[in-house]
Amino acid sequence: MEERIDRIKKQLHIAGYKLTPQRESTVRVLLENETDHLSAEDVYLLVKDKSPEIGLATVYRTLELLTELTIVDKINFGDGVSRYDLRHEGAQHFHHHLICISCGAVDEIHENLISDAEKVVEERYGFKIKDHRLTFHGICHRCQDKE
Amino acid sequence: MEERIDRIKKQLHIAGYKLTPQRESTVRVLLENETDHLSAEDVYLLVKDKSPEIGLATVYRTLELLTELTIVDKINFGDGVSRYDLRHEGAQHFHHHLICISCGAVDEIHENLISDAEKVVEERYGFKIKDHRLTFHGICHRCQDKE
DNA sequence: GTCTTTGCAAAACGTTTGCAAAGTA
DNA sequence: TACTTTGCAAACGTTTTGCAAAGAC
């Protein structure tokens, strides 16, 4: 936890930014809820519990900054809000998501499922890949068991 | 063109809806701009050229309806607007996208690049896939040539 | 003292909704 | 007639912005 905060602090400094108390609170909330997919509002409410003076705009600005530095990834599951997901330590690729259309759960897949696809895209389409988004929509194993 | 309109008309009728002039204009715009990735506003402006009386709300309602019937797919490239993409005739899977972070171009890939990944997801994660979204972000071949 | 960051409120933006009028079977 | 669809304007929810105050180096 503390090492990860430290590393993020360094990343900010290198880019010319400070890890202010508000930014640190925001980062901590993201770290403590790493498997969730929090919206800016979600983050704001959680940060507010511990630092009630924080403003929503600051949370938005912090999330934008973290996105720029690829510390978090901004994702959109099509429900009208952006969600923010910490990029995993040393992961060169953004993980994939399984969205259950029955219960709404969002599960993560951390193994790389598309290295073959990437090869095709780079070689056959001459496209230099920097990032990707892969999301499956369907029925999760829990909802299938219920039936 | 006309056959595709007819087929969509039938799909609407089966589901209990009519192909009104406004809906037809909207569908025509989508067909005429099939490789683009139009936002609701884009569609509205194009429809307005030919049918100036149409309202933006009608376009939104039509696009929502077409999405429900899986005639179009609603996609979100993370720029704050939903875009609408005609599902290809007989395509059992939604196509993939290459987004150039240099020039903003969005290219489509119609071959299925992720059948292996889908197998893994279904078998190893017990997830019943209904749909997917795969987008690559990077530098397109045109921008690479420019350098 | 300069430059960055913050909180607040207002504004902006895309999208949805209520409703009365128009259209359709 | 009963039901669907439309256009308009207003409302909505999320995100961004202007600005003066506070903070950091």
pLDDT in tens, A13-61: 999 999 999 999 999 999 999 999 999 999 999 999 999 999 999 999 9
- Whether any strand C atom is under 7 angstroms from the Cβ of A17: the reply reads yes
My answer on whether B15 and B70 are in the same domain is yes
**Cβ-based neighbour number of residue B143 at 10 Å:** 17
Q: What does the DSSP assignment read for A69-112? A: TTSEEEEE-SSSSEEEEEPPTT-SSPPEEEEETTT--EEEE-S-
- Whether any strand D atom is under 7 angstroms from the Cβ of A51: the reply reads no
The answer to whether B88 is annotated as binding is no
pTM given for the model: 0.91
Q: Which of A90, A107, A125 is the last residue of a domain?
A: A90
- pLDDT-derived band at A88, boundaries 50, 70, 90: confident
- Beta-carbon contacts of residue A31 (< 8 Å; ≥ 6 apart): A1, A4, A5, A86
Return the DSSP state at A18.
-
My answer on whether B40 and B59 are in the same domain is yes
> What are the tokens at B45?
């402006």
My answer on whether A80 and A8 are in the same domain is yes
Residue B78, Ramachandran bin (φ over 0: left; ψ between -120 and 50: alpha; else beta): left
Q: pLDDT tens, B73-83?
A: 999 999 999 99
Range of the domain at B73: 1-90
My answer on whether B69 and B134 are in the same domain is no
pLDDT > 80? residue A122: yes
My answer on whether B22 and B45 are in the same domain is yes
Q: pLDDT below 70 — which residues of chain B?
A: 90-92
Q: Which of A65, A90, A115 is the last residue of a domain?
A: A90
In degrees and rounded to multiples of 5, residue B128 shows phi and psi of: -90, 105
- Strand D nucleotides with an atom less than 7 Å from a protein beta carbon: 4-10, 13-18, 24-25
